[in-house]
Amino acid sequence: MKNSWMIGILLCLALAACDSTTKRMEQAQDLFKEGVQLREQRRSEEAAERFLQGLALVQRSKKTTETVQLEGQLCDNLGAMYLKHGLFDDAFKQHQQALQCFRQTADSTGMMNAYRNSGRAVRAQEQYTQAKQYYDSAFRIATFINDQTMLGDLYLEMGRDYYMETGNFAKGIESVNKTLEIGLDDNDTDIAHMTLGILYYYTRENEKAKSHLNQALRSERAGLKMSVYQTLYSIAESEKDYQQAVQYHKLFTSNMMEADAEHTNETLQKIKSEFELKAQQSVLESLHRTRDLKLYLIIALAVIALLVILLIVRKKSSDHKLEMEQFGRQVERDQNRIHELVSDMENLIRTNDELRRQQQSLPPKDLMAIQKIMARNKVMATAQALSEEINNDSLNFELTDNDWKDFISLTDLVFDGFSQRLLQLFPKLGPWDVRICCLSKNGFSNQVISILLDTQTDSYYKRKTRIKQMKMNLGDDNRSFEEIVNAV
């Protein structure tokens, strides 16, 4: 009996030794390297899991220069994963923690990356002034250490995501041209030419715009080519070259369909990823809460070692069976979740048919009267013409504020005061947000709505996301924008 107690105590002491700072740091380093490899393979959920596990180990270790440096690297990479999947607040917190760690270790390169990533996180939330401050800080460090690759990336991001978004087109052109002078990889070069083409179009320098846009068409990415053809279409229309404009529009439509298919797949993956990332965050928070408790448990194990060993031997078989049952239930829950997501996407496709059936349920006289009134509204007539065929005639329209007010009033008539109920639920919505919701409620496609708003289709997707997250405060809601609007 005495020997059994001694064996138990020795085993517990060995367990405590294995959990030392050195061992945890080695494990954390391995997790970080594995996470980086998974990130390069675009397996973001698995990468985020490794970074979270590594972070939990580092934060349980003694604070040294090495542990603080590794904590900064883990936080910065984890923040990039959160940013990719739209978790902007969580991303910003991770990049700020990384910045604090790199300051402690005087790591200029780390600080430069953390500043740029912090700028990306706040720019995604349209906090442009704060984003400019972070980008400028990254610029100063990149210039000081003469990091040409980072300078090229920063000039491109500033030209595309800051100067163009804030309307400073001349400064944007200057910034992107500096990017091309420094040199980029092929994909970023195509993005730079597309950005310059759009900026020159905004400044009415059509020849320069066309030159850069044609160079951007070397890209194989459907979304990028769609934006290029949309801009070329606008240029041809402004130059009254309608034959060329029609050709560009056909190419735009072809690439838009391909980009829409990609966007649908990305949306499903994003919803799944956000769910998994949040679950991983909960695990990390749980690890932090139980950190101190584990220290006491290690000490207690030295006293009750024999009892623990006996319980492990006795329950080994039953615990393994229970774990397998839990794993099977978890797999079943994940499969059900995927089926629910697919079902949600199918419901979106049926939205227009449901709207038509709702209108057909009205008494014939009321339906005919409403249809006649709706047909006289210029917004409705223009949208219906674009839905049927996009040509020079249907694209030649001009809508006034009175046209929009009349359209919203008619939508309220058909859908029982829709705009008033919408503003009661989401008082932050602006006039243009209400117009977008009314168009979506009437079942018009993303292409038609983007044309009515005189914006690019990918910009319209971003705008819907901002309305849902910033104006409706529904960032955690897994439903699509159209489902939310139709539920009002």
Mean pLDDT to the nearest integer, 411-434: 92
Q: Are residues 483 and 393 in the same domain?
A: yes
238 part of a folded domain: no
Query: According to the model, what pLDDT value does residue 311 have?
Result: 73
Q: Are residues 412 and 265 in the same domain?
A: no
Nearest to 393 by CA among 376, 381, 405: 381
Query: According to the model, what pLDDT value does residue 121 have?
Result: 92
Does the structure show a pLDDT above 80 at 122? Answer: yes
Nearest to 444 by CA among 360, 340, 374: 374
Does the structure show a pLDDT above 70 at 183? Answer: yes
Q: pLDDT per residue over 379-414, tens digit each?
A: 888 888 888 888 877 778 888 999 999 999 999 988
Q: Are 411 and 418 in contact (CB under 8 A)?
A: yes
Amino acid occupying residue 154: L
65 part of a folded domain: yes
- Residue 240 CA, chain-centre distance (Å), reads 38
Burial of 299 (0-12, 13-18, 19+ CB in 10 A): exposed
Most confident of the following: 10-14, 328-332, 412-416: 412-416
Q: Are residues 45 and 163 in the same domain?
A: yes
Q: Are residues 421 and 476 in the same domain?
A: yes
pLDDT class of 328 with cuts at 50, 70, 90:
low
Residue range of the domain that includes 317: 304-349
424 part of a folded domain: yes
Query: According to the model, what pLDDT value does residue 378 have?
Result: 86
Q: Are residues 102 and 116 in the same domain?
A: yes
Q: Quick one: what percent of the chain has pLDDT higher than 70?
A: 76
Does the structure show a pLDDT above 70 at 284? Answer: no
417 part of a folded domain: yes
Query: According to the model, what pLDDT value does residue 252 have?
Result: 86
- The pair of structure tokens assigned to 352 is 């227009």
Query: According to the model, what pLDDT value does residue 418 have?
Result: 92
More confident residue, 345 or 154: 154
**CA trace torsion 24, 25, 31, 32 (10° rounding):** 150
Q: Per mean pLDDT, which range of 189-198, 239-248, 266-275, 369-378 is the poorest?
A: 266-275
Give the 3-state secondary structure of residue 65.
helix
Does the structure show a pLDDT above 90 at 40? Answer: no
Mean pLDDT of the chain: 80
Q: Are residues 51 and 152 in the same domain?
A: yes
Q: Are residues 401 and 481 in the same domain?
A: yes
Query: According to the model, what pLDDT value does residue 381 have?
Result: 87
CA 137/CA 120 separation, integer angstroms: 13
Does the structure show a pLDDT above 80 at 229? Answer: yes
197 part of a folded domain: no
Query: According to the model, what pLDDT value does residue 26 have?
Result: 87
Nearest to 94 by CA among 35, 52, 53: 52
Q: Are residues 402 and 308 in the same domain?
A: no
Radius of gyration of the chain (CA): 28
Mean pLDDT to the nearest integer, 192-214: 90
Q: Which helix (H) or strand (E) holds 141?
A: helix 128-145
Query: According to the model, what pLDDT value does residue 437 have?
Result: 94
More confident residue, 265 or 195: 195
Query: According to the model, what pLDDT value does residue 2 have?
Result: 45
356 part of a folded domain: yes
Q: Are 378 and 399 in contact (CB under 8 A)?
A: yes
Q: Are residues 393 and 377 in the same domain?
A: yes
- Residue 386 to residues 191, 390, 397, 453, 456, Cα–Cα distance (Å): 29, 5, 10, 13, 15
252 part of a folded domain: no
359 part of a folded domain: yes
Does the structure show a pLDDT above 50 at 18? Answer: no
Query: According to the model, what pLDDT value does residue 262 have?
Result: 57
More confident residue, 24 or 279: 24
Query: According to the model, what pLDDT value does residue 244 have?
Result: 87
Q: Per mean pLDDT, which range of 331-335, 348-352, 399-403, 428-432 is the poorest?
A: 348-352
pLDDT class of 99 with cuts at 50, 70, 90:
very high
For residue 125, the domain's CATH number is 1.25.40.10
Q: Are residues 86 and 172 in the same domain?
A: yes
Domain count, the chain: 3
pTM of this structure: 0.52
Q: Are residues 144 and 275 in the same domain?
A: yes
Query: According to the model, what pLDDT value does residue 362 have?
Result: 46
Does the structure show a pLDDT above 80 at 371? Answer: no
Q: Are residues 327 and 468 in the same domain?
A: no
- The pair of structure tokens assigned to 105 is 């270790």
Q: Are 128 and 162 in contact (CB under 8 A)?
A: yes
